[in-house]
Amino acid sequence: MQKKALVIDDDIFCLDMVEEYLSDQEFDITASLKPTCPMIEQNKSTCPMQAPCYDIILSDNHMPEMTGLEFFELQRQGGCKLAPEHKALISGDISREEQKIAAIMGYKVFHKPTPLNLIDSWLDEVFDKHG
């Protein structure tokens, strides 16, 4: 079964680059310019899904509506079924405090520009450990 990825970035160039890269890695991609998931789309306070919607989520951190960290926290509070280790932030400007929070929560952090081999290593780590 093809793995599913959610990619979020308000910069269309970055969004397209990551989307194309993951497509080459045989992922089924959902790309969005803003944070989204079934909980947000259905305007619910809790996750309406019985299983994870995606196998991984890669999100920019600094976006107009909310940060990637705020999005992941909203998901966590709503009972998102995806393990934190399957979520990553990609940011050109992430504070030490945000990096610390991400590490505590179990999220991977990539700094823009991100060498694609680092994303490869993370994917290997995620899927070797968690199937």
User: What range does the domain containing 73 cover?
Assistant: 4-130
Domain count, the chain: 1
Q: Is the pLDDT of residue 72 over 60?
A: yes
**Amino acid identity of 123?**
L
pLDDT for 85-112, tens place per residue? 999 999 988 999 999 999 999 999 999 9
> What's the whole-model pTM score?
0.94
Residue 130 — very low, low, confident or very high, per pLDDT cuts 50/70/90?
low
How far apart are the C-alpha atoms of 28 and 6, rounded to whole Å? 9
- Alpha-helical runs (H) found in the chain: 12-24, 38-41, 68-77, 96-105, 116-130
Can you tell me whether residue 57 is helix, strand or coil? strand
Average pLDDT over residues 52-56: 97
CATH number of the domain where residue 78 is located: 3.40.50.2300
